[in-house]
Amino acid sequence: LQRDASSKFGFSARNTLAIAQSLYERHKLLTYPRTDSKCLPEDYIPNIKSNIKGFADGISSSSLDQQVIDSSSKVIANDWVKPNKRIFNDAKISDHFAIIPTGKIPTSSLKEQEQKIYDLVTRRLIAIFFPSAEFETTRRITRIDQDSFLTTGKVLVTPGYLEVYGRKPGVAAEKDELIAAETGDQAKAIETELKEEATRPPARYTEATLLGAMETAGKRIDDGELKEAMKERGLGTPATRAAIIEGLIAHKYLFRHEQQKRDLVVSNKGLALIDLLESIGIDSLTSPEMTGEWEYKLKLMEGGDLSRDVFMSEIKKLTEEIVNRTQEKMTELANRVFKDLQATCPDCQGNDLKQTDGSYECKEAECKFKLNKYIASHEITPDQAKTLLEEGRIGPFESFKNRFGQAFTAELALEQGARGGWKPQFIFEGDEEREDEAKNLTDDQLLTEAELPDGTAVKVYETDRAYICPEMAANKQKGGTRLGKEILKKELPKDQVIKLFTEGKTEVIEGFISKKGRPFRAHLLLDKSTGKLGWEFPPRAKKKASTKKKAAKTKSSESEKE
């Protein structure tokens, strides 16, 4: 359920579990959600028939999709709910059976996210009783001159269980589906194109794929007994996997990709932890074998084949080994000596830089140049530092983080300041284009003139996409102050832009849309000394006292008079 909700709706595992728990506890629409069972009790057939018949009867509810009603009717009409060990199997049920609808029909009061999770569970229950889907597999060879090209694909012929999800025969909804060709059909090559591509690394994990990997971690174990112990468990349980992922994010070992929100990225801290554990030699903490071995021994204890004292003794021994190896490694790290960085100091042109735990520093006594090893949570490796010093630029890197812990992508450049010192500066996508744009402005694009705090008159220009004041702000070398014509989905009125640059504040502007999709109104502010934008929100209207409160107050006053 967590994987499907992540793939279809982008829900986090924690959010899905919370919604399912609400549907169980508050709405009484789903059975117990914190289960790892995929089967139902063998005596549950009458209950399932009753549940599906309730859907088939088309009970008035805005929360029931017509496809659910029609599919339920088909299951009942064909008497498809029958004994089946794949579905009804007492041997594969532990404390709780699979998540299913309780049979209670939902009302329109469900929230959108709750409705989506309920719909997923309901459709899955109905779909398992449908026959298999049937595809027509196509293998097509196309000949152009002396060359042959192989194309493979398939076309849906009989929807089967896919009918519950709205699929129809012949509809190519999947990328690998291929419309069947009739005998004698002729193909014509309209255009040919040669593409040269390189092999790609594996895709990043999303929550959906990571949950799948955690569920099937036993498939990565070679030892047969350990694999069997992990077969039904994997890493974690349905109730704990969401917390494991969220814990890794909370402790900064993972973060969600800035653009591809569903992608999970290992942070420098996470990589450093893996490197540390591997260098210490604690392999048991970086592979599923340890969990598999513990699960296997727990099963032995359940069967009386292993005593608790022996198990706890082994746990104690492993813990002591981990602590001892960690202490040895910490001592080694404290006494380590770094190699000098073979690069020229940009400040004094001296040879080689001293490397410490946290920086690269010039070895000349009178030179103060220093480059931090960690910039916005990204570690500058010796190779990267050498390239930065020699070429003045490295990146882009996706692992930078702002002060709120949010990841961002940028290049890093080494630039000399007005006073001669050297500082690393971020270069974002589009920075150079904006700088060039600011250099090529013409008088035809002049919008208005403004005045800086020191009395300097500056010009404000209008381009196709923005308003630009090249002489305003401390970052003049990157094009000065640039204001997009649209902010938070609101196109800025031109008269308010003029007011902003000349007076530093607009009137209240309606129609901004927050990142959460909520409309709001606000003043825009401009600090002319820095070019930074700000917000000022108008005071909210005071809420009127409710009728009940007024009535209570009146009644109280009358009582006092009496």
Q: Where in the chain is the domain with CATH 1.10.290.10?
A: 2-127
Q: Where in the chain is the domain with CATH 1.10.460.10?
A: 207-307
Which run of H or E residues covers position 68?
helix 66-77
- CA 444 to CA 263: how far, in whole Å? 45
How would DSSP label each residue in 500-544? Answer: HHHHSB---EEEEE-TTS-EEEEEEEEETTTTEEEEEPPPPPPPP
Answer yes or no: are the C-beta atoms of 278 and 286 closer than 8 Å: yes
Answer yes or no: are the C-beta atoms of 382 and 356 closer than 8 Å: no
Name every residue whose Cβ is closer than 8 Å to that of residue 181 and which is 6 or more positions away in sequence. Answer: 138, 140, 187
- CA 361 to CA 93: how far, in whole Å? 63
Please, what is the angle between helix 45-56 and helix 66-77, to 10°? 130
Answer yes or no: are the C-beta atoms of 154 and 177 closer than 8 Å: yes
Answer yes or no: are the C-beta atoms of 52 and 76 closer than 8 Å: yes
Q: What share of the chain is helix, strand, coil (3-state, %, to 5)?
A: 40, 20, 40
Q: Where are the alpha helices (DSSP H) in 303-452?
A: 308-334, 382-391, 431-439
CATH topology assigned to domain 207-307: Topoisomerase I; domain 2 (1.10.460)
Given a cut of 50, the residues of the chain with pLDDT beneath it are 476, 546-562
Backbone angles phi, psi at 405, to 5 degrees: 85, 10
SS3 readout for 94-121: CCCCCCCECCCCCCCCCCHHHHHHHHHH
Answer yes or no: are the C-beta atoms of 255 and 265 closer than 8 Å: yes
Answer yes or no: are the C-beta atoms of 378 and 270 closer than 8 Å: no
Q: Rounded to the nearest 5 degrees, what angle is found at the Cα of 79, between the Cα atoms of 76 and 85?
A: 115
pLDDT of residue 364: 87
Identity at 397, one-letter amino acid code = F
Of 32, 165, 253, 296, which residue is the catalytic one? 32
* CA-based radius of gyration for the chain: 33
Answer yes or no: are the C-beta atoms of 306 and 295 closer than 8 Å: no
pLDDT of residue 177: 62
- CA 289 to CA 47: how far, in whole Å? 40
3-state class of 40 per DSSP?
Answer: strand
Answer yes or no: are the C-beta atoms of 296 and 226 closer than 8 Å: yes
Residue 432: count other Cβ atoms within 10 Å of its Cβ. 13
Written as six digits, the tokens of 240 are 């704990």
pLDDT of residue 554: 40
pLDDT of residue 434: 67
Answer yes or no: are the C-beta atoms of 385 and 340 closer than 8 Å: no
CATH architecture of the domain covering 2-127: Orthogonal Bundle (1.10)
Question: Which phi-psi region, left, alpha or beta, contains residue 525 (left: φ > 0; alpha: ψ -120 to 50)?
Answer: beta
Question: Which phi-psi region, left, alpha or beta, contains residue 82 (left: φ > 0; alpha: ψ -120 to 50)?
Answer: beta
pLDDT of residue 562: 38
Question: Which phi-psi region, left, alpha or beta, contains residue 38 (left: φ > 0; alpha: ψ -120 to 50)?
Answer: alpha
Residue appearing with tokens 């005596």? 43
Answer yes or no: are the C-beta atoms of 3 and 212 closer than 8 Å: yes
- CA 381 to CA 396: how far, in whole Å? 14
- CA 38 to CA 383: how far, in whole Å? 51
- CA 484 to CA 491: how far, in whole Å? 9
For 385-410, how does the pLDDT look when each residue is reduced to its tens digit (9 = 90+)? 999 998 888 988 888 887 666 778 88
- CA 136 to CA 155: how far, in whole Å? 5
Beta strands in 145-259 (DSSP E): 147-158, 254-256
| Active site (annotated) includes residue 44 | no
Report how far Cα 180 is from the mean position of its chain's Cα atoms.
Answer: 38
Answer yes or no: are the C-beta atoms of 245 and 15 closer than 8 Å: no
pTM above 0.75, yes or no: no
How would DSSP label each residue in 415-436? Answer: EE-TTS-EEEEEE-TTHHHHHH
